[in-house]
Amino acid sequence: MFLLLGRYTAPTEAVDPHRDAHVAWVQEHGAAGHFLAGAIEDGGAGGCIVALSASLADVEGWTQADPFVHAGVFEYDIRQYEVAFAADSVAGLKG
C-alpha cells in the first residue's frame, strides 16, 4: 500500500484550469481499484491518496500521469507501507 502525499506548487489560479482533469484522473484510478481513498488537506495546501499496488514503479507512473503534475502545479511524496493493523471492514488490506 502507498500513501501519496501531495502539495500544490503553484497558486490557485494556475491550478484551477487543471482541476476537472485531475478529478477525472482520480475517479479513473478509483474505478480501476488503484485508489482506495483520498483527502484534501484542511486549508487547501494539498491532499493525500491511499493507493493499492505491489509496484512502486506503477504508482510513480500513475502520479506522473496526474494532470496536476503534468501541468507542473502539484508534486507527490510517495511512501510505501505494510499494513500492520486494519479494522475488520478492511482486513483484506493486511498482507
Question: Residue 1 is placed in which grid cell?
Answer: 500500500
Question: Rounded distance, CA 93 to CA 95, Å?
Answer: 6
Q: What pLDDT digit, counting tens, does each position of 40-87 carry?
A: 887 778 999 999 988 999 999 999 999 999 999 999 999 999 888 888
> Is this model's pTM higher than 0.85 or not?
yes
- Cα three-residue angle 75-51-5, rounded to 5 degrees: 30
Q: Give the domains, in start order, of the chain with CATH numbers.
A: 2-93 (3.30.70.1060)
Instruction: Classify 5 as helix, strand or coil.
Output: strand
Mean pLDDT score, 6-18: 95
Quickly count: other Cβ atoms within 10 Å of residue 27's Cβ: 11
pLDDT recorded at residue 64: 97
pLDDT recorded at residue 95: 65
Strands across the sheet containing 46-51: 35-40, 46-51, 2-8, 74-80
